[in-house]
Amino acid sequence: MVTKIKTIKEFNVDNKPLIVGLPGMGRVGYVSVNYLLSRVGGELVAEVYSTAFPPQLLVGKGGLSTLFVGRIYDAGKFLIFTGDAQPQSPEGQNELCDALLNYLTSKGTLNSVIATAAYVVPEFNEERKVFITGNQADFIEELKSFGGEVLNEGVITGVNGVIVGWAGYYGIKGAVALGETWSAIVEFDETDYRAVKAVISLLNKYLSMNVDPEPLTSLATVVEHRINATIAQMTKVARRETKESREVM
């Protein structure tokens, strides 16, 4: 496997936090960091290319095409890493995390790494929790003071989890912020905007920002209504089919 990082504009790490969000369940991490970008802005400073990304060419409007890539943005007070996809293999995920952190630490000292992702639950809760786990006890306590709920057991797969382990290797405090995500949203391949809102609220406190998360509420309502309507229709059809089968018997 090969991972290459192309610097687009020189930048300094300057003891900044790195916020990570890649596509995953409920798109919580990916949408969280991109919502931050849309609100506070950010300059694209580097692109990450890897043979671990899907071997496909993305074709966009006007016929313009590109490989799947990762992107590093400088948002002033912090850095953001996001991308079109996650590496497809465990080896690729580990290699990407190592290459990314090696590249950034060559430019200075990162303050911390926070990866955003989803914590899937079967029940629907309007007020979503944000579960946290990390590589340093004091960092966990800090995020707990901002409303995070400590995750005491389990396994977090993918870059959004593995990168916290690699942060520990590089001597950087790191944590995963997992937005509580309704399982039906994942099953219907939708975005859990309510979970994104919860993650943004925690990041607001950690980064001392005031990014307004309220626009996410209306988006969440639309998604949830659509899913509830679909579930109701599927239940209705299933009951009708069950009734008809009994009548045939």
Task: Tell me the per-residue pLDDT of 220-229, one tens digit each, with 9 for 90 and over.
Answer: 999 999 998 9
pLDDT at 82 exceeding the cut of 70:
yes
The three-state secondary structure class of 208 is coil
Average pLDDT value for residue range 207-226: 94
Cα-based distances in Å from 41 to 18, 72, 117, 211, 214: 15, 13, 21, 11, 18
Average pLDDT value for residue range 121-126: 81
pLDDT at 32 exceeding the cut of 90:
yes
Is there a domain that residue 75 lies in? yes
Count of structural domains, the chain: 1
Pick from 203, 50, 24: nearest CA to 113: 203
- For strand 43-50 and strand 70-74, is the pairing parallel, antiparallel, or unpaired? antiparallel
Higher pLDDT, 241 or 78: 78
- For strand 112-121 and strand 174-182, is the pairing parallel, antiparallel, or unpaired? parallel
Is there a domain that residue 238 lies in? no
pLDDT at 184 exceeding the cut of 70:
yes
pLDDT given for residue 243 in this prediction: 56
pTM here is 0.92
What confidence category does residue 9 fall into, taking pLDDT thresholds of 50, 70 and 90? very high
- Residue 163 in contact with residue 113, Cβ under 8 Å? yes
Is there a domain that residue 40 lies in? yes
pLDDT at 249 exceeding the cut of 70:
no
Higher pLDDT, 248 or 91: 91
Average pLDDT value for residue range 12-18: 95
Is there a domain that residue 233 lies in? no
Is there a domain that residue 242 lies in? no
Can you give the residue range of the structural domain that contains 117?
3-213
Is there a domain that residue 239 lies in? no
Output the six-digit token pair for 77. 């007070």
Q: Token match 């671990």: residue?
A: 52
pLDDT at 247 exceeding the cut of 70:
no
pLDDT at 241 exceeding the cut of 80:
no
Residues 40-77: tens digit of each pLDDT: 999 999 999 999 999 999 998 899 999 999 999 999 99
pLDDT given for residue 153 in this prediction: 84
CATH number at residue 25: 3.40.50.10900
pLDDT at 107 exceeding the cut of 70:
yes
Q: 132-169 as b/e, with b when 16 or more CB fall inside 10 Å?
A: bbbbbeebbebbeebebeebeeeebebbbbbbbebbee
Is there a domain that residue 166 lies in? yes
Is there a domain that residue 128 lies in? yes
pLDDT at 246 exceeding the cut of 60:
no
pLDDT given for residue 240 in this prediction: 64
Residues 6+ apart with CB under 8 A from 141: none
